[in-house]
Amino acid sequence: MNNFDQSFSFLNLLEQPQLQKLQDRSSIVGEVFSFCLDPQGKQLTQVSGSEEETQLLFQYIDMEQGLDVCRRTHASLIEDLQVEDTYYPWIKIAAVDVKVSGKSSVTWCYCAILSDCMTQEEVKESGFTRVTTTENFMRFLDLSADVNR
């Protein structure tokens, strides 16, 4: 007999301030922007990243595009990790869904500025300091997915 409570959620382990702190720290390590959705698809945390760079990011992408990727991953019965292109080849959006007993617990939403898809001059001109490479972004996503399984 399994005594595991079917209503268990990642949210049972962490309160919102702790969740924000965990997200902020992992975003620094991964050099990404991120936020988290609850099981109903509602945004739980603020976007990690400096306010200046976050505002700059939203000049390039629409928050709805990021939410859409995350909500589709959240609703998927098969995929717990999705990566999508944006209009800009150097910006990628990804989502990692944490499922417990087949039900979504939280969805981590990520956005990366990929320096290897731009020249050094373009990186400098973009105004972003939180940048990563495609390889490092994929490693970060794999780690995030593994940790959250």
Who contacts 6 (Cβ-Cβ below 8 Å, separation ≥6)? 101, 103
CA–CA dist 83, 66 (Å, integer): 10
pLDDT band at 111 (very low <50, low <70, confident <90, very high): very high
pLDDT band at 76 (very low <50, low <70, confident <90, very high): confident
Task: For residue 15, report the phi and psi dihedrals to the nearest 5 degrees.
Answer: -80, 165
Above pLDDT 90, what percent of the chain? 49
pLDDT surpassing 80 at residue 118: yes
pLDDT band at 7 (very low <50, low <70, confident <90, very high): very low
More confident residue, 16 or 13: 16
pLDDT band at 47 (very low <50, low <70, confident <90, very high): very high
Which range (8-22, 66-80, 100-114) has the least confidence? 8-22
pLDDT band at 8 (very low <50, low <70, confident <90, very high): very low
Ramachandran quadrant class, 81 (left: phi over 0; alpha: psi -120 to 50; beta: rest):
beta
Q: What is the pLDDT of residues 63-75, one digit of tens each?
A: 888 788 878 877 7
pLDDT of residue 13: 56
Q: At what angle do helices 134-147 and 16-30 cross, to 10 degrees?
A: 150
What tokens appear for 24 in the block?
């902020």
Q: What is the mean pLDDT of the chain?
A: 85
The stretch 1-27 carries a mean pLDDT of 68
